[in-house]
Structure 1
Amino acid sequence: MITFHNVCKTYEKQHVIKDFSLTIHEGELFVLIGPSGSGKTTTMKMINRLIEPTKGHITIKDNDIATLNPVALRRNIGYVIQQIGLLPHLTIQENVSLVPRLKQMAVEEYHARVQELMRMVALEPSTFAERYPHELSGGQQQRIGVIRALAADPDIILMDEPFSALDPISREQLQDELIRIQQELKKTIVFVTHDMNEALKLADRVGIMQNGHLVQVDAPQQLLAHPANDFVKTFVGNQHNAMLASLLPITQIMQPAHTMYAHQTIKEAQTFMLKHQLDMLIILDRQEIYMGSVTIWAIYQQHYDPETLLQDVIQSTVAVLSHSATIEDLTALLHVQTQPITPVLNRDQRVMGVINSTEAAAYIATL
C-alpha cells in the first residue's frame, strides 16, 4: 500500500532520515514511535508530501507520489494533528464537510456522510452540527478532527500525535473510539506517537525509530516478547510484563483437548482417562458442541453404575475461556478457580483446546 524505497532526508548536511525502507500494508494501523528527534513525524509527513525526501522515493499502490499533484494527493489522504485545526468561523458540519466540498461532492452526499460520521462518534448531528468549535470540549473537538479526516472516504489517514494534548480519560476514550472505527472501516492508518502504551494498544504493527533509522518493526506482542536490542528493551520500559500479558493470546499456550461424547458411558470414560493419565475430560454433544466436563475423582467418589451415561454426570459449571482471551484473562481466572484444565471455546462453542493450569502458572511466572 505505502512503500518507502531507501528514503533519505537531509537538512543542511544533517541526516534526519537515513536509508529508510518500509511497507505499510493496506488496512493496517501502523504506529511510528521513537524519542524526540528520531524522525517519526518527518517520515509521516513525506507520505502526503508536506516534506519531500532528499533521496529515494515513496509509492502508494505502486504509484510514485513524486509524480502526483501534491494538492490532489493531500485531498485523498486524511490528516489528523494534535492541534486539531478546526476552522473557528465554520460550524462543525462545515468543518467536517470541508474536503468533500473542495472535491465537489454532491450536497446531499456529503450532508449524509457528515451525519453518519457524527453519529459514529456519538455526537448527535441535531445537537452538534450547527455549533462552532469553541462550543465543544477538547475531546469532542478531537472526535471532529478524526471524522473530518474520514469525510472524503480516503484510503489513507495520517495521525500525528492526535490525542497527546488530551486528559487521560478523554485520551483513553478516543483510543477506544479509533479502535472501534478501524475495525469497522479498515482504513490504512499511519499513527505517530511518543507514548509506548498508546502504540501497543492501537497498533497492528509498531515501527520503533532511533536517529532516523527503523530499529524494529513488529506486532505489539512480538515487540514485547522479542525486543531487537537494548534500545528497544529500554524504550518499551516497565510496561513490558503487564502489556505482554494483556496482548498475548492464550492460544499460544493451548494444548489439544481430550474429549468424549455425552452418550458414552462412565466405563468408557474411566478406561480412556486411565490410558491417557487424565484427571479431567471434556464432554461434547453429538454435534461436537461443548457441554461440560467430568473428573476422575467425581466418577470414583459417586460409585456410579458403569453403564451410566456421561451426560448424567457432567459438571456444566466449569469455567471456560474464549479463544480471543489473553494471558491477562487467564491469570485472573487462575486466581479464582482450581480446576486442572480450562476449556478454550470458539464463537460456536466448539472446543479449540485446553489450558493446563499448572503449566500455565509456570509460564506466567516467566513473563
Structure 2
Amino acid sequence: MPLLQQTIEQIQGIDRQIEADARKYIDSLAKPPQSLGKLETLAIQLSAITGERFPKIDQKAMIVMAADHGVYEEGVTPNPQSTTVFQTLSFPKGTTGMCTIAKVTNAKVVTVDVGVKEDLPPDAGVIIKKVKYGTDNMAKGPAMTREEAIRAIEVGIEVTTEEIKKGINLIGTGEMGIANTTPSAAVLAVFYGCDPLEVTGFGAGVGSGGIEFKAEVIRKAIELNQPNADDPIDVLAKVGGLELCGMAGIFLAAAANRVPVVVDGYISLVSALAAYKLNPHVKDYIIPSHQSEEPGAKIAADLLGIEPMLQMNMRLGEGSGAALAFPILDAACSMVSNMVTLEEAAAILTK
C-alpha cells in the first residue's frame, strides 16, 4: 500500500474518555474551574493525544520544509529567489528568526530540502529529499504533477516518522520558500471558494503591482488549472507548493503516530487544512499557535475550527509562531503535573 494512503488510514480520533478524564482531573486541581483558561484546554488536549494524564513533551522538534516556486517569475515578490537557499542553509546554523526562538526550549530544528531550486552542499546539515527543482509556474500550467505532489507529502511523512522514532514527542511546522504566500493563497481560495483577493496579503513583500496584481496572478492560475476543491491533492498539485505538500505530510504523520503538532501561521495553516481534508481526524492533533497578520490566516483557522492562542502581530513564517508556543505547552504540562488537587491541599492543611 502506498505510504500516503497507509498513513491516512492509520489516523484515528483521540480517545474521548481520556479527554473527559483529563478534564475532570484538571477541574479537581486547587483552583477555580477553568480559571487557567486555554492552559487547561491545552493540557486536556495533550492528555487526549498522548493517552497520559501527565503528558510529556520534553523532546521537541521544528521541522522546516524548504522549496522554491515557479510563480516567482510573475513578479509577485521583490525578494530575490536566492533567499530560499540562503535561509535554508541558515537553519542548521541556528541563525534564523525561528531558530532563535526554538532555542528557548532547546527544540531540535530539522531542515528538509523538498524542492529548493539549487543543489545544496551535502554537508550543510539539510536533509536532501528534493522532489524537483522548485514548482513550475502555476500561472502557465500546473505547479507539479499529482505524482510529485504525493511524493512531496510522503517526504513530510517519512521525515516526521523518523524523528518520532528517535523520541520526538512534540512537533512544530516550519517552511522556507520565497513567494510561498502566493500558492498558499491560491490553495485557500480554492478550498474556501472565494476570490483570491480576499485571502491574498503582503507576505514577505509584494512586487511592484501590489496585492491586486498578486491576486490577479492567483486568479489566472486557478482559472487556467481548474483545481478540484474536493480533491486536496489535485489542489496542491495544480496551484500549491512542494513545501506545502511536505508540511501536509508532517500533520498526517504526527496524527498517525498520536503526537501533538503545533501549526504555525498562514502557510502552515493552509497545509494543515489540506491534511485535514485528507482525514478530518488530523484536527484532533493540531495545536494552534499565533494569529498571523496575513488576511487568509483567520479564514484558514476558522475552516479548521481552531483558535490561535497568541496575537503577536507576526508574519515571518519559518515556524516562528509554533516555536513561540512551545513554552506555553511546557507550562500546561507543568500545571497538570505539579499542581495539587483541592483534596490534596486540604490534607496538607490538616496535618
Q: TM-score scaled to structure 1, two decimals? A: 0.24
> Greater share of strand residues, 1 or 2?
1
The structure, 1 or 2, with the larger RCO (C-alpha pairs under 8 Å, 6+ apart) is 2
Q: TM-score scaled to structure 2, two decimals? A: 0.25
Which has more radius of gyration? Answer: 1
> Greater share of helix residues, 1 or 2?
2
